[in-house]
Chain A
Amino acid sequence: MDNKVAIVGFRMAAAPDIEITRERLAFNLTRGLFDDLGIERDDVGTTIICSNDFLDGRTISNVFLDPHVGAYMKDESKVEMDGLNALAYAAMRILSGQYETALVASLGLTGSQASPYLHIEYTMDASYDRPMKLLNELAAAALQAKSYLAEHGYSEGLLDEVAAKDLANAAGNPNQARRMPGITAEQVAASAMYYEPLRELHCYPPTDGGCMMLLASEKKAGELCDKPVWILGMGRSTDNYYLGDRDLATSLSASQAAAKACEAAGIKDPAGEIDFAEISSLFAHQEPLFAEAMGLMESGKAPDAYRAGDTAINGRLPINPSGGPLGGHPISSTGLIRAAETVLQLRGEAGENQVTKADVALVHGQDGLCAQQSVVFVLGT
């Protein structure tokens, strides 16, 4: 990318039940971020709110959040998709030259406020899938998992290993909602079966949470922080909606979004040049599936990579050192939280989950059934 946009700060939170109002959560996170950076709301050029009207139970739900995120009587717009889409929107606003700073404010309360599955039920095609009553988010994910495992001849044990790795990472991360220290693959394999091959602990937990992030132009970034993290590339791609029209064994949206982001960042060999990745794998199988699709892992070698510890915090290419969405999935914020976790790593501030080499990282976000859409960022120091 010719012009440079930096992430200069963020605040995030996640819990099974956040136990405060969404407005107070929005205010606390935004005010905290402003205090971290020593700025006031007048220093923010534009704000992108990322929330979901259906989960909030009211349409145009951003109108209720303007005062809390400092956007009252200011330039504010809204994204109703994953937070990484909002991040792309905010970055483009800075690239337009119109703004020096942009705030992304995302909230999702599916732990205490409304079921995440309900929202997905109402994203499905009203003239076909809903009257057919065959699909829901879990059934669709299970079909994707089955297709992926069958394509490569992987056993279901891979899912247990992936989940155990992620949940162990999540246990060491104070920003995660599901915390199960000492979790083993055997315990994952003993959790309740939902849709074969997916069990309870292969699936994300309903989560309350949010993430606020401030972007700045190259000119402004140095004034606002000592360790700006740069957006080196970004890409998006959307697959067909209907599952029967898609190759569920891989993810075209993830591979194409990653290819675009890597091209913009000048990365030719993702597996060799990316130091670590934060991937929006809402279900255990999606982590190796997306990693293979995005060129981070050799296709057909996922079980070897996990068994060898390549994806672990101290591995060759750590994936989801934060624990990923199996540790928490506040819809609207999940992808943005992946970006925030990546910034922590790149700044060397990830505590006990810190990876060894952290100069260039890949961040993935998704929307829709089985990641119909993917968004990928390449971030670096």
Chain B
Amino acid sequence: MGATEEAYFTPVVPMDFTYNYRVGHYLQRYLDGFKEKKVLGAKCPECGQVVVPPRKYCGSCNKVREEFVELSQEGTLENFTVGHVTLVKGKLNEVESPYLVGMIKLDGADNLLLARVEGLPVGEAKTGMRLRAVWKDQAEGDYSDLDHFEPV
């Protein structure tokens, strides 16, 4: 029997295993802030950098970031891509209309927040644009509460 005539055995790896990942105090506080439509960052006592979402440990300093800081809901589009496909379980799928994924520097933050950018034709996105947060009407303390950003 030649190599190409061999049958495939196609096991499906059961990745519907359930894992309980604790989000930790800091992401919990971030999500609690979402309930009040606030965006919180965390500040490192050593380097003074403010990161969003707030994360407890500063990689550069190996210190605990102790201070929470409420950030502006406006910021600058620093980088973006236009998606013409999506990946679903590792497979490429075309999308009906291209969409924007942006990296946004909120006023008061030192790092960039990834978010969907809507409210403009994708071809008109430019780095340096000013954007503002758009919330779901009913915030529930979930990542999806901060729905997208749109031009100011």
CA distance A119 to B116 in the complex (A): 24
| B81:A146 contact, CB within 8 angstroms | yes
Q: Of A134, A192, A244, which one neighbours B112 at CB under 8 angstroms?
A: A244
Q: Of B4, B83, B101, which one neighbours A19 at CB under 8 angstroms?
A: B4
| A245:B111 contact, CB within 8 angstroms | yes
Within 8 A of B (CB), among A174-203: 192-197
Closest to A195 in B: B81
Interface segment out of the listed B32-40, B62-70, B85-93, B129-137: B85-93
| A147:B59 contact, CB within 8 angstroms | no
Within 8 A of A (CB), among B48-101: 51-53, 55, 59, 79-87, 89-92, 101
CA distance A336 to B116 in the complex (A): 37
Q: Is A131 an interface residue (CB 8 A)?
A: yes
Q: Of B23, B91, B111, B116, which one neighbours A244 at CB under 8 angstroms?
A: B111
| B87:A127 contact, CB within 8 angstroms | no
Closest to B109 in A: A244
Q: Is A135 an interface residue (CB 8 A)?
A: yes
CA distance A278 to B23 in the complex (A): 40
| A143:B101 contact, CB within 8 angstroms | yes
Contact A243 B112, CB 8 Å, known A134-B101, A146-B81, A147-B79: yes
- Chain A proximity of B147: nearest CB distance (Å): 12
CA distance A301 to B55 in the complex (A): 37
| B89:A240 contact, CB within 8 angstroms | no
Q: Is A248 an interface residue (CB 8 A)?
A: yes
Q: Is A271 an interface residue (CB 8 A)?
A: no
Chain B interface, number of residues (Cβ within 8 angstroms): 40
Chain A interface, number of residues (Cβ within 8 angstroms): 41
CA distance A195 to B80 in the complex (A): 10
| B114:A121 contact, CB within 8 angstroms | no
| B53:A248 contact, CB within 8 angstroms | no
Chain A positions within 8 Å of B4 at CB level: 19
Chain A CB within 10 A, most for which of B83, B87, B112, B116? B87
Closest to A199 in B: B84
Closest to A54 in B: B13
| B11:A121 contact, CB within 8 angstroms | no
Contact with B along A75-114 (1 / 0, CB 8 A): 0000000000000000000000000000000000000001
Closest to B19 in A: A126
Contact with B along A1-43 (1 / 0, CB 8 A): 0000000000000000001110000000000000000000000
- Chain B proximity of A367: nearest CB distance (Å): 17
Q: Of A121, A131, A248, which one neighbours B87 at CB under 8 angstroms?
A: A121
CA distance A307 to B80 in the complex (A): 27
| B27:A196 contact, CB within 8 angstroms | no
Within 8 A of A (CB), among B1-26: 3-4, 6, 11, 13, 15, 19, 21-24
Contact A196 B84, CB 8 Å, known A134-B115, A146-B79, A150-B127: yes
Chain B positions within 8 Å of A243 at CB level: 103, 112, 114
| B101:A139 contact, CB within 8 angstroms | yes
Contact A121 B89, CB 8 Å, known A128-B53, A150-B79, A244-B113: yes
Closest to B83 in A: A195
Closest to A194 in B: B85
CA distance A138 to B101 in the complex (A): 12
| B53:A139 contact, CB within 8 angstroms | no
Q: Is A273 an interface residue (CB 8 A)?
A: no
Chain B positions within 8 Å of A57 at CB level: 11, 13
Q: Is A118 an interface residue (CB 8 A)?
A: yes
Closest to A130 in B: B21
Contact A132 B82, CB 8 Å, known A19-B3, A118-B89, A127-B23: no
Chain B positions within 8 Å of A118 at CB level: 89-90
- Chain A proximity of B31: nearest CB distance (Å): 11
Contact A143 B11, CB 8 Å, known A135-B114, A240-B59: no
Within 8 A of B (CB), among A233-267: 240, 242-245, 248
Contact A134 B87, CB 8 Å, known A143-B81, A196-B81: no
CA distance A57 to B11 in the complex (A): 8
Closest to B127 in A: A150
| B3:A20 contact, CB within 8 angstroms | yes
Chain A positions within 8 Å of B92 at CB level: 117, 194
Contact A248 B79, CB 8 Å, known A137-B87, A138-B87, A196-B84: yes
Sample of 8 further A-B pairs with CB below 8 A, known A115-B91, A135-B101: A121-B90, A134-B101, A147-B79, A195-B82, A242-B55, A244-B52, A244-B103, A245-B112
- Can you show 16 pairs from A to B with CB atoms below 8 A apart? A117-B92, A118-B90, A121-B89, A126-B19, A127-B23, A131-B143, A134-B101, A134-B115, A135-B114, A143-B80, A146-B79, A193-B84, A196-B81, A243-B103, A243-B112, A243-B114
